[in-house]
Amino acid sequence: MRNLVNCDFGSFIEKWRVQSLGNGIALSIKEFSVTAKDLADVLQSFTNRRKLFRLSLDGIYGLDGSASIWTPLLQNLTELQELELRDCSLQIADIEHLAAALGQVPNLANLNLSKNGNLGGNAETWAASLQSMIHLKKLDMSNCSINSRDLKYIAESVSPMRNLVDCDFSSYPEVWRVQSLGNGIEMSIERFSLTAKDLADVLQSFTNRRKLFRLSLDGIYGLDGSASIWTPLLQNLTELQELEIRDCSLQIADIEHIAAALGQMPNLADLNLSRNEELGGNAKTWAASLRKMIHLNSLNLSKCAINEQDLPHIASSVGEMPNLTDLNLSRKWGLGGSAEIWTPPLQNMTELRELNLIRCSLQSTDIEHIAAAVSRMPTVESLSLVGNDSLRGFAQTWARCLNQMKHVSSLKLGGCALTKEDKKHISEAWGSGVDFESSEDD
């Protein structure tokens, strides 16, 4: 029935619907109990149906381990662009048959295999099959119980798939995703427990992957003290522009290896090492390594438990980083009341354009020293003092210092709980344009 483009045979729970989808049609079957032969018969019936662009099978019971029977029929759906097989209890052996069939469907761009939890922990046996689907642009295998043992085998398989720019292997709370980022791609790995070798294997697999612009490692457990093993692989990611290694329990010795590797990566502009609290109080031993990363434009050391003794060492080193224009020193709880000690070294950072001192427990007595230091940093355009609520009620004593920073165009004082009287004194000293609303964080 070529003219029939919308029909619904669903009941309260089960759904079976054919509907118009732009210039084509979509077939959706949900929450049915179906044998492999049942599904094969349905697919056979739609073999000659033109413009079937999308097929969705969701929560189908009875298909586990039977892909060899019904997947060959998928090859006949030549105009298929999107396929969903969500929560269908797919087994390890099913993936090989599925990938072999879909490799023969040249228009297929998007494949969703999410919520097939039996696949997790066994990628060694099925991941290589994914490479058969060379046409894929998007692969969703979220909530498939993928774990750290699987990462190596999946990375080896998907990294050579040049058309694949969006794939998701996350299972809450762990996140592992590769996705499109402008003209390139980014890879995010979060809250996994990984050994140094696990990470080295993943990085090795992506060595030859073009246009990997951004890499985010966040909340990874097991990497502490092991940077000597995995950082050499970073140098092979020659197009990397942004790197995050957040909350990874980095140790003092790790910074030297990270800096040495990243110093060989001329395209790397942004580095985020926030939330690595073990670095605090020890900058004397690691800060000198920072100057090796001469290409960096932005460095984030927020929430690293840096104290006033650390700052002179950090400032001395980053002062020799000719391209560094943005330094984030937010959430340094121990800096309040001691700016007289730590602000003078800031003057060494002669190329800095943006300085963030967000939520550093700054006191009213600190502002005079901060303003004096910034006044000697002619390139600074933006200063953020957001979230320093101890400044409340005392602006009459420190606001007049602000006019020393005549070259600073952006001053942010949001989240400081300032009174109306405070704002009056600040505006009189600075002029109009103070941002009292911003609540930015790191």
Which pLDDT value is given to residue 316?
87
Name the least confident of 30-44, 335-349, 418-432. Answer: 335-349
Q: Alpha-carbon torsion 332, 247, 176, 30, what sign? A: negative
Q: How far apart are the C-alpha atoms of 224 and 48, rounded to whole Å?
A: 57
Q: How far apart are CA 184 and CA 206, in angstroms?
A: 13
For 327-342, write each residue's pLDDT tens digit: 998 887 678 898 998 8
d(CA 132, CA 426) in angstroms, rounded, equals 64
Residue type, 173: P
Find residue 327's DSSP bridge partners: 299, 355
- pLDDT tens for 291-326 read 999 999 999 999 999 988 898 899 889 888 989 999
Cα 18 to chain center, whole Å?
A: 37
Residues 109-156: tens digit of each pLDDT: 999 999 999 999 999 999 999 999 999 999 999 999 999 999 999 999
> What is the rounded CA–CA span in Å between residue 323 and residue 296?
6
Does 441 have pLDDT greater than 80? Answer: no
pLDDT tens, residue by residue, 143-183: 999 999 999 999 999 999 999 999 999 999 999 999 998 88
Nearest to 46 by CA among 63, 64, 27: 27
Q: What is the mean pLDDT of the chain?
A: 93
Residue 267 corresponds to which tokens in the numbers above?
């395209």
Rounded Cα–Cα distance for residues 360 and 331 (Å): 5
The predicted pLDDT at position 150 comes to: 96
Three-class HEC string of 127-186: HHHHHHCCCCCEEECCCCCCCHHHHHHHHHHHCCCCCCCEEECCECCEEEEEEEECCEEE
- Measured distance between the N- and C-terminal CA atoms of the chain, rounded to whole angstroms: 58
Predicted pLDDT of residue 348? 81
Using 50, 70 and 90 to split pLDDT, how confident is the model at 198?
very high
442 — pLDDT class (breaks 50, 70, 90)? very low
Q: Which CATH code for domain 1-168?
A: 3.80.10.10
Q: Which of 70, 39, 69, 50 is nearest to 4 (CA)?
A: 50
Q: Where are the beta strands (DSSP E) in 46-90?
A: 52-58, 82-86
Q: Which two tokens stand for residue 354?
A: 């943006």
Name the residue type at position 366.
D
pLDDT the model gives residue 156: 95
Residue of 404 and 49 predicted with greater confidence: 404
Summarised one tens digit per residue, pLDDT across range 252-278 is 999 999 999 999 999 999 999 999 999
Radius of gyration of the chain (CA): 28
Backbone angles phi, psi at 44, to 5 degrees: -60, -40
- Residue 439, classified by CB atoms within 10 Å of its CB into exposed (0-12), middle (13-18) or buried (19+), is exposed
Say what the pLDDT of residue 182 is.
84
pLDDT greater than 60 at residue 282: yes
Place of tokens 């840096």: 306
Beta strands (DSSP E) in 159-291 are 166-168, 175-181, 184-190, 212-218, 242-246, 270-272
Distance, in Å, from the CA atom of 291 to the CA atom of 299, rounded to the nearest integer, reads 11
CB 343 within 8 A of CB 315: no
HSE-up of 168 (CA within 13 Å, CB side)?
Answer: 15
> Has residue 389 got a pLDDT over 50?
yes
The confidence score (pLDDT) of residue 440 equals 66
| Domain positions in the chain | 1-168
Tell me the pLDDT tens digit for each residue of 354-373: 999 999 999 999 999 999 99
pLDDT in tens, 201-259: 999 999 878 899 999 999 999 999 999 999 999 999 999 999 999 999 999 999 999 99
Residues 72-109 have pLDDT tens digits of: 999 999 999 999 999 999 999 999 999 999 999 999 99
Q: Find out whether 206 and 212 touch, Cβ atoms under 8 Å.
A: yes
Mean pLDDT, range 414-436, rounded to an integer: 94
Report the pLDDT averaged over residues 28-54.
90
